[in-house]
Amino acid sequence: MSSDKRAFRLRKLNDAEVYGPMNQDELKQLIDSAYVSPEDEITVGDDEDWKPVTEFPELGMIWKIQANDGTLYGPTSLGTIREFVRTGEIRFDDKVVRHDDKEAKTVAEVLGEETVATLKAEIEAAQTLSADGQLENAFETAREIRIRNLEADMETLQREFDELKQKYLKACEALAKSH
């Protein structure tokens, strides 16, 4: 578990929807579930300085994939690479390059024998499960973060409403006294 206490917000490129605030572990979970694309943006705290998620190397979106069919992916994370293997979008013999190391390796080499064995077992077991169920988990996480964000917004608006109501009542009292 990360000790990073920063509050991140995620803005999806495709619909400009904002998720958060969330901690680094929650953001990494979304990244590793392939929910976050390299074009999506994040900001830290209440800052409105949105930057591409790839500008935060601690989030791990540092890998580029070149599938044997010529398709390019990335930059992305190891978790997303695992997810792409699990869903069949890439294979163990596809090439992967870390942004700071131009030497290409296979997906299997980067993931390691233990992870490859685990993935093969998961793929075999998942053949009986629907891909929709796996995607639903990622959407459920995003939905929970969105609900938390809306609840926080509602609390802020309620506080502002209460303050304005008090100001209105004081103004009414002052007006009544002046007449």
| 62-129 belongs to CATH 3.30.1490.40 | yes
Q: Which residue has the higher pLDDT, 153 or 167?
A: 167
Confidence of residue 103 (pLDDT cuts 50, 70, 90): confident
Residue 151 pLDDT > 50? yes
Separation CA 122–CA 128 (nearest Å): 10
Residue 10 pLDDT > 90? yes
CA distances to 19, 31, 72, 94, 143 from 35, in Å: 12, 6, 17, 21, 12
Q: How many CB atoms lie within 10 A of CB 79?
A: 17
pLDDT of residue 138: 75
Residue 1 pLDDT > 50? no
Quick one: average pLDDT of 148-168? 90
Contact 12, 27 (CB under 8 A): no
Query: How much is the mean pLDDT over the chain?
Result: 86
Quick one: average pLDDT of 142-150? 84
Could you tell me the residue ranges of all domains in the chain? 1-53+130-179, 62-129
Separation CA 97–CA 74 (nearest Å): 10
pLDDT of residue 133: 64
Residue 179 pLDDT > 90? no
pLDDT of residue 2: 46
pLDDT of residue 132: 58
The per-residue pLDDT for range 46-98, each reduced to its tens digit, is 878 899 999 988 898 999 998 888 888 889 999 889 888 988 889 999 999 98
Helix (H) or strand (E) holding 73: strand 72-76
Q: How many residues comprise the chain?
A: 179
Name 122's Cβ contacts closer than 8 Å, sequence gap at least 6.
86
Q: What residues are paired with 52 via a beta bridge?
A: 41
What is the percent of the chain with per-residue pLDDT over 70, rounded to a whole number?
Answer: 92
